[in-house]
Amino acid sequence: MACQYKKTGLISNLRFGESILLGRETVNGENVPGLYQDAFCLVSEVIEVKSKPSRPFGETGSNAFGERLLFKDNGMMNRAIIGLGRQDVMVKGLEPLQPVDIIGSSSDHIILNAKNMKISPGDLIKFSLNYGALLSVMTSPYIYKKSIYRKSSHAISKNLA
């Protein structure tokens, strides 16, 4: 059923995906009252942690995606690698929920500056996602999906995939 609107005429299609799924409206990114902003969380395992220089030695070239990256010299850093990459998720749509920074990514890994966080291989890093990142994760055959249904104070897990 179409609604008449004075300036645009008939409205026949409204898109509310991001609002319903992520609890925020798409124009200004503001939270929608009464909706959850944390309904989705991406979790990945740390596979490597090393103290490494923030700037690589020698000359750098383009990466596999044709990008030539510039590295600022901030001395040694606590670098962590997680087992997700661009084939799995739209990396620029991730926001870490722990005190780490995303400093780069390849097709199958994301590199983090773990700063002063005590972190070890096997630890889990959690991320919130924007709509593009959520879309890429949900359509990726490489990502394991787990749904948790909440009924009052009980959580019921159901595996998806």
The reported pLDDT for the residue numbered 5 is 57
The amino acid at residue 54 is S
Q: Could you give the CA distance from residue 12 to residue 147 in angstroms, rounded to a whole number? A: 32
> DSSP letter at 87?
T
CATH architecture of the domain 42-55+73-148 equals Beta Barrel (2.40)
Greater confidence (71 vs 110) lies with: 110
pTM strictly above 0.85: no
Alpha-carbon dihedral sign for residues 56, 60, 65, 69: positive
Alpha carbon of 66 to those of 61, 69, 112: distances in Å?
9, 10, 21
| Residue 64 C-beta-side C-alpha neighbours within 13 Å | 9
